[in-house]
Structure 1
Amino acid sequence: MTAPDGSVGSVGRAARPVPVPDDVSAPYWAAAARHVLAVARCSRCDAYAIPPDVVCPHCHSTAPDFVFQQVSGRGEIRSWTVMRQSFLPGFAADIPFVLVDVELVEQAGLRMIGRLLDGPGAAPSFGAPVRVAFEDLPHAAAVPAFVLDARA
């Protein structure tokens, strides 16, 4: 797979997909590019939502007026899987890698999925503390990921 501008990574390696923000996700991706994790928060009930939608998943407001707010990026692993096959060419050189399902500390049930950047030999476990890290991509983009947090 190539990037939207047709470029590929070094030595013919296919480039990783680059996020294409829309009106709803633009604040999230702009914050990520600055290495800040910002999550949508409903202005009606103050609950966070990943991803934001036209209806708040907590108070069911049809006018949630989501505002993106910086969060700590700290959380606990709730599940994980080891990816041993790449379904997109841009990830083929990274196989195997670990994907983690993380519950953020800001709110019960506030979960997101990301790569665990500690390497394929990392030993994730249920409840292990993690913190956000960012993978830089071309075109001044970055994607949130996680690392094990020994300080927690």
Structure 2
Amino acid sequence: MTSSGRPLPVPDPLSAPFWEAAARHVLTLSRCSDCGTLTHPPDVVCDACGSTDPRFTATPVDGRGAVRSWTVVRQSFLPGFADLVPFVLVDVQLVDPALAGQPDVRLVGRLLDGVDAPLAAGAAVRVAFEQLSPDLAVPAFELAAS
């Protein structure tokens, strides 16, 4: 946990490359070495081809996306988020060119623009990072400039 009590990710062998890249403010997805499909989060079996040995590699993406839906969190059920409420969580469909033919790769993250941001379904966003400690950053999103 951070000094604020906010829970921190606990990387495992499959997710460690994602968190190592995020610490450098780089968004990555996991590419299956058998079929080339990008996914997040990685699992022991590739969702696309069923490979039980997908040997995922971390592949940088540009972090552009479109808002599919969102919610405003007004009550914190975890003490570490109490100082952040209210905040917006967005469900973002990534639109990176590397994802051509893969329309359903999505991430959920905090919208850093705040609860009064002019948000709409389909709004363009880009990845940003919340620096939680010197060696840990968590992907979040910002509205993209029009």
Shared fold (TM-score, shorter chain, > 0.5): yes
Q: Trace 1:1-152 onto structure 2 (pairs within 5 A).
A: 3=1, 8=3, 14-106=4-96, 107=99, 108-151=103-146
What are the Cα deviations for residues 48-73 of structure 1, in whole angstroms up to 9, with x where unaligned? 11110111111111111111110010
Residue identity in the other structure for 2:126: R
For 2:46 and 2:113, the matched residues in 1 are separated by 34
Residue identity in the other structure for 1:29: W
In structure 2, the residue matched to 1:11 is none
For 1:51 and 1:30, the matched residues in 2 are separated by 14
What are the Cα deviations for residues 118-140 of structure 1, in whole angstroms up to 9, with x where unaligned? 01211221111000000001241
**8 Å CA contact 1:18, 1:138 repeated in 2:** no
Unaligned runs of 5+ in 1: 9-13
Residue identity in the other structure for 2:59: Q
Query: How far does residue 17 in structure 1 lie from its aligned partner after superposition?
Result: 1.8
Residue identity in the other structure for 1:75: G
How many pairs are equivalent? 141
Runs of 4+ with >4 A deviation? none
Aligned-pair identity in percent equals 59
For 1:139 and 1:150, the matched residues in 2 are separated by 28
For 1:20 and 1:61, the matched residues in 2 are separated by 25
Give the root-mean-square deviation of aligned CA atoms: 1.2
Query: How far does residue 87 in structure 1 lie from its aligned partner after superposition?
Result: 1.4
Query: How far does residue 42 in structure 1 lie from its aligned partner after superposition?
Result: 0.8
